[in-house]
Structure 1
């Protein structure tokens, strides 16, 4: 393993100069800094994490609280997690993942242990029980998601309310008057998870403005659950011609069931999804969709967290503007509807 002394000898400077360049605690001339950084890179030097923590009173670790629930689409969660880990490393931080459904207890453990310099929270609920403890701790934190009250927190999220509105507007412009929303699993709404609630609020508001009728049905996403939900939807509203789906697991079963019912997409039924781009492109029909920008949300969250760790003041809400991409699954409403 390469030592700090070896880096100093290679760069032709003192060990203390190398330490100052790495820690940023003193101003070093540009030429000297470049020599040290070149030696660090050429020798493959990695500062000892324990020594670095003792010297700086930091662990250089970010805790990522990401409950992995059976009612959530795990690939999206993991894509965000990978994005957080990747961008954290670019800033010299490692990531400690907490995947249990522990709620406030997990916040207590992280804060009490001193293992992490800062925290990123995911799966944010409108009335999230973790937030009072997080605010009391004074630990730098960023939420990927929006609670009902954002004062005192820095939040990064897709503008899900506008995403829902775009879906309703797209179908309305195509002449669809009766819309069904295939939502997340019932437990997601029971927890009042922010992204699902906000999507529905935005969609309903825009649909009301456009004079569209909306029927919302939460769904587990399995083939059997979706078959039951679809049967109920058409029994209640046989004139429905447009579907908005905010449940990645339900997309392919929905397309299959529509084919079985001899309802062609998009000639008879239009489908619009809120999902990752790869999901929209890999199905049996290329889906019109609003993309979930997982990596971009992760990048923005890490950047704001690092700024807070380094002393930046103030909190903010960053909402990424949604974009609806039209593909093969949406078209003009059938004549007579």
Structure 2
């Protein structure tokens, strides 16, 4: 048989052929490929072996016609990035990987389209579901969501999450952990380096949630914390905010930096003033573990778990997309627990 004939035969194989060789039903083949049902490891291996034997590739067009689905998930990403370019990447990578494993493609949509962008995606049947990143406390897009025909999962939690599917890190717990780390190592004069104006202007919900945790932990410890706003997340902005923080009546012995991209600038600004983080003053950042480990010195951090958040959000999304429509998950908020790791920027403080 000629190579062209073999290729033509391969293109004609269907999931029915895969099911016949694997000795399973067509629905089982579908569940293995989409991950929508738990399948035993032995069965999954048989199906995968049959797929490889036939070089089977599902016909996306035929699947869409048969199921009235696009096999596309729209991901609404922030513009200008409070997360920064590096901060967005783990979300994009994980969501894309989860989608690919379930035989879906991802369509990137910028958040500046607002509520009109969601309506357009739904009205033109461009996707089967929507994932939204970076949610405002009073997000103007929220009222549109119940009107959409496609399911929506939020990576973030607005002030009123009723009737929504939300997944995020527990920012309130993160704020508490940062204060508890400093209080537990003897610090009593703690200053939070607040987010820059553009983040505050957007009303992002995580800002208030983190500060709420800081305030709760400080009250429990019987101390007060200061707050100095970052003018901009740049080296010069960090120098300004560090100068302001250190010029307060009670010079702080510990700083909390919840804005990820500002952490290395704050460390540099402290060194510029002759202060060694982890020796002369403590710094706790809110960032991913990998980012904390790469900084100089390695930063004590409260974890921000973008990959775990993304995986859980996609798990919820696929449950909502279940073909059978059986027992969709209840509306609600799923919070990934925050975790603190002590590194080189914590110093034990003794008070007279």
Question: Does the TM-score normalized on the shorter chain lie above 0.5?
Answer: yes
Per the alignment, residue 86 of structure 2 pairs with: 75
Matching of residue 308 in structure 1 with residue 341 in structure 2: no
In structure 2, how many angstroms separate the alpha carbons of the residues matched to 1:309 and 1:6? 26
In structure 1, how many angstroms separate the alpha carbons of the residues matched to 2:84 and 2:254? 23
Per the alignment, residue 172 of structure 1 pairs with: 183
In structure 1, how many angstroms separate the alpha carbons of the residues matched to 2:72 and 2:261? 33
Residue number among 106, 112, 133 corresponding to 1:122 in the alignment = 133
SS at match of 1:149: coil
CA contact (8 A) 1:160 1:195 kept: yes
SS at match of 1:103: helix
In structure 2, how many angstroms separate the alpha carbons of the residues matched to 1:32 and 1:45? 17
Summarize deviations over 1:243-275 as a string: whole Å, max 9, x none: 001122222221122122122222220000110
Change (3 A) 1:138 1:11: closer
Summarize deviations over 1:41-90 as a string: whole Å, max 9, x none: 23332212121100111111111111232544221222111111111222
Residue number among 327, 342, 352 corresponding to 1:326 in the alignment = 342
Q: CA RMSD in A?
A: 2.6
Per the alignment, residue 27 of structure 1 pairs with: none
- Deviation at residue 184 of structure 1 after TM alignment: 2.4
- Deviation at residue 23 of structure 1 after TM alignment: 4.7
In structure 1, how many angstroms separate the alpha carbons of the residues matched to 2:222 and 2:349? 15
Per the alignment, residue 242 of structure 1 pairs with: 254
Residue number among 269, 286, 296 corresponding to 1:284 in the alignment = 296
- Deviation at residue 236 of structure 1 after TM alignment: 2.2
- Deviation at residue 173 of structure 1 after TM alignment: 1.4
SS at match of 1:236: coil
In structure 2, how many angstroms separate the alpha carbons of the residues matched to 1:229 and 1:20? 59
- Deviation at residue 13 of structure 1 after TM alignment: 4.9
- Deviation at residue 176 of structure 1 after TM alignment: 1.1
Change (3 A) 1:154 1:20: closer
- Deviation at residue 217 of structure 1 after TM alignment: 2.5
In structure 2, how many angstroms separate the alpha carbons of the residues matched to 1:325 and 1:8? 48
In structure 2, how many angstroms separate the alpha carbons of the residues matched to 1:11 and 1:61? 24
Matching of residue 194 in structure 1 with residue 241 in structure 2: no
Matching of residue 5 in structure 1 with residue 12 in structure 2: yes
- Deviation at residue 142 of structure 1 after TM alignment: 0.9
In structure 1, how many angstroms separate the alpha carbons of the residues matched to 2:27 and 2:110? 37
Matching of residue 161 in structure 1 with residue 172 in structure 2: yes
Change (3 A) 1:188 1:216: same
Change (3 A) 1:329 1:104: same
Per the alignment, residue 112 of structure 2 pairs with: 101
Residues 144-159 of structure 1: pairs in structure 2 closer than 5 A = 144-159=155-170
- Deviation at residue 141 of structure 1 after TM alignment: 1.4
SS at match of 1:221: coil
- Unaligned runs of at least 5 residues, structure 1: 25-29
- The TM-score with structure 1 as length reference comes to 0.89
Summarize deviations over 1:74-124 as a string: whole Å, max 9, x none: 212221111111112222222111124121111011111111111111111
Change (3 A) 1:265 1:50: same
CA contact (8 A) 1:267 1:334 kept: no
Change (3 A) 1:115 1:235: same
In structure 1, how many angstroms separate the alpha carbons of the residues matched to 2:173 and 2:15? 54
Per the alignment, residue 286 of structure 2 pairs with: 274
Per the alignment, residue 35 of structure 2 pairs with: none
SS at match of 1:147: coil
Per the alignment, residue 203 of structure 1 pairs with: 214
Per the alignment, residue 141 of structure 1 pairs with: 152
